[in-house]
């Protein structure tokens, strides 16, 4: 078994498929912070790496082969992949909350392998055909965009809301764009990184530095940084009846002054992935209301996966790394 902090390129063979499964030739895989965490420390919460693990869950590609009962896609279709495969029969699945399925198989979440491979087998119900105008990179980035969409949903964002977003990483920037597309009156993005704040300003958002916040109040607060203390600080900036969604997961438990915040009758929601978001995500990108392409700052071949996984620690002025499994380093 390879040790933590090591990447091996191996031949895993061509996958087999069942009647409703499809083989996708993987064309683009975005690197997520979870990939880096599994690579460096080997766990996220209760998910622990206990053997070799293929990383990657932000993925798009082309249909290469289909099972005998597949009806929703055909060979040659360009598709984005929703990475969580639910059982579809449990209480949560039948209620439409399939992302909470206790038997969910999520790409690159132990013990399930991910998408950093040339060919990937998936249930056809996890595939979404991309419009001709969308690139494979954009298709892969529908996954972090879905997190932003779900955050807005969990915070019950309404047209006319003033929105505060902490954390100007890819999810924070995509949540900001989603909030604007859904009719937010204003969106303010906070971060400590001047590079990331400049990305937010380039997309037309008001920005604040984490070390120099203003006293502006908001209706909705989306916490996308996971930094200690940020959730509590942001809640104080909500107006009465404000709504918050916690997207960034802190490494330690969070303490909140609920006895005092209670006076504002705030609503605090947690975000665990997403459900039913891919059609909305495709529509937002295809229409130009959300720009995901500009977040890709670095591109790598499959042989350069380790460089991609460690990008953020090596290059602070970076946003999103994209890996192309069909390409090899020349």
pLDDT at residue 229 is higher than 70: yes
Residue 284 inside a domain? The answer is no
Q: Which residues pair with 244 in a beta bridge?
A: 221, 268
Q: Rounded distance, CA 322 to CA 305, Å?
A: 9
Asked if 51 and 151 sit in the same domain, the reply is no
Asked if 205 and 183 sit in the same domain, the reply is yes
Q: Are strands 47-48 and 43-44 parallel, antiparallel or unpaired?
A: antiparallel
The domain in which residue 74 lies consists of 21-141+292-324
Q: Which residues of 114-130 are buried (b: 16+ CB within 10 A; e: fewer)?
A: bbbbbbbbbbbbbbbbb
Asked if 129 and 67 sit in the same domain, the reply is yes
- List pLDDT tens digits, range 247-289: 998 778 888 888 888 999 999 999 999 999 999 999 999 999 9
pLDDT at 2: 59
Give how many domains the chain has, as a whole number. 2
Instruction: Tell which residue, 144, 141, 136, has the closest CA to residue 325.
Output: 136
Asked if 76 and 189 sit in the same domain, the reply is no
CATH number at residue 168: 3.40.50.720
CATH number at residue 27: 3.90.180.10
Q: Rounded distance, CA 225 to CA 146, Å?
A: 17
| pLDDT top residue among 330 and 229 | 229
Q: Rounded distance, CA 155 to CA 174, Å?
A: 15
Instruction: Tell which residue, 93, 229, 219, has the closest CA to residue 159.
Output: 219
pTM metric for this prediction: 0.96
Tell me the mean pLDDT in the region 322-328. Answer: 95
Asked if 157 and 172 sit in the same domain, the reply is yes
Residue 165 inside a domain? The answer is yes
What integer best gives the mean pLDDT of the chain? Answer: 96
Residue 73 inside a domain? The answer is yes
Residue 190 inside a domain? The answer is yes
Asked if 241 and 264 sit in the same domain, the reply is yes
Asked if 127 and 164 sit in the same domain, the reply is no
- List pLDDT tens digits, range 2-47: 578 999 999 999 999 999 999 999 999 999 999 999 999 999 988 9
Q: CB–CB of 134/285 below 8 Å?
A: yes
Tell me the mean pLDDT in the region 211-225. Answer: 94
Tell me the mean pLDDT in the region 186-207. Answer: 97
- List pLDDT tens digits, range 66-98: 999 999 999 999 999 999 999 999 999 999 999
């Amino acid at each position: 078994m390879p040790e933590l902090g090591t990447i091996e390129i191996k031949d895993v063979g061509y996958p087999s498929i069942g009647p409703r499964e499809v083989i996708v030739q993987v064309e683009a895989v975005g690197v997520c912070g979870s990939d880096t965490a599994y690579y460096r420390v080997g766990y996220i919460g209760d998910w622990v790496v206990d053997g070799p693990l293929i990383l990657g869950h932000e993925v798009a590609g082309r249909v290469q082969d289909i099972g005998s009962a597949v009806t929703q896609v055909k060979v040659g279709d360009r598709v984005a992949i929703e990475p969580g495969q639910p059982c579809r029969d449990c209480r949560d699945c039948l209620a439409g909350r399939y992302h909470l399925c206790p038997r969910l198989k999520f790409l690159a979440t132990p013990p399930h392998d991910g998408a950093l491979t040339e060919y990937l087998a998936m249930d056809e119900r996890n595939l979404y055909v991309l419009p001709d105008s969308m690139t494979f990179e954009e298709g892969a980035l529908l996954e972090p965009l879905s997190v932003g969409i779900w955050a807005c949903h969990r915070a019950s964002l309404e047209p006319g809301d003033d929105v505060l977003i902490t954390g100007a990483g890819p999810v924070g920037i995509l949540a900001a764009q989603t909030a604007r597309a859904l009719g937010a009156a204003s969106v303010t993005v906070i971060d400590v990184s001047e590079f990331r704040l400049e990305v937010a300003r380039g997309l037309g958002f008001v920005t604040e530095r984490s070390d120099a916040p203003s006293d502006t109040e908001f209706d909705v607060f989306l916490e996308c940084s996971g930094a200690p203390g940020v959730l509590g600080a942001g809640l104080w900036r909500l107006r009465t009846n404000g709504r918050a969604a916690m997207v960034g997961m802190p490494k330690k438990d969070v303490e909140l002054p609920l006895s005092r915040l209670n006076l504002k009758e705030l609503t605090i929601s947690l975000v665990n992935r997403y459900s039913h978001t891919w059609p909305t995500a495709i529509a937002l990108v295809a229409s130009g209301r959300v720009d995901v392409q500009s977040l890709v700052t670095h591109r790598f071949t499959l042989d350069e996966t380790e460089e991609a996984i460690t990008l953020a620690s090596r290059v602070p002025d970076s946003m999103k790394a994209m890996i192309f499994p069909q390409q090899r380093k020349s």
